[in-house]
Structure 1
């Protein structure tokens, strides 16, 4: 076979590999941004994620674990370390005395706002080469990807 065109099976595989490569490379870039912002505030990426979750909600410990994809003991340790730094506080849920909710302290909110501003600035720089229309399409595509699918 002397043709310069790829075999049919190669053509079918390339778009999937290109998609995987592009999404993985993008996730690396975003992770680097989160890591840089975390380092500026002496926070790990997991701590940044936790504070981001707490930006607009006060979940139970169990719900927080679910948001972060962590087990109960890992979440407890993460919250305990953040509590020692006055970033978060725990409180009994007034509706369910068995449940403990987690919320940001004033200091934690200030750190979250500073990190969010830096992350937004860096992400804006990352997508700056895109036209407004391309950015809108990117947001739309990402939103479609992130919509939970039925397991059926």
Structure 2
């Protein structure tokens, strides 16, 4: 086999339709657009989902689901970030003052990333199962 002999499979490629080239082509006169109407004319265009003024399907159907407005204001804190804090009792205010989480955060959760060897007490802060185990192994607690 040589690269200059490679050809696509038989029937996989068809020649492009040349519209408006006489009746013998099968696409003469109206060029396959039919007679009259918006779609037959040059520039005949309507928005996707437009139903001629009828209330569109995406507006007729009820909207379901939930989008949390506070999702972006939940912060994650690594174990290694807790280890460098100078205090033992840690709450949301301490994390904000230390610059670990943004000042507009509404909630925080400790995730298992890095390690911790000092005792810390979490108040009003969540923790994943792995982070909770690591904090308790170091002598700390995750009491709310």
Instruction: Identify whether the pair has TM-score above 0.5, normalized to the shorter chain.
Output: no
Give the TM-score normalised by the residue count of structure 1: 0.21
Relative contact order, CA 8 A, sep 6+: which one is greater?
A: 1
Structure showing greater radius of gyration is: 2
Structure-2-length-normalised TM-score: 0.22
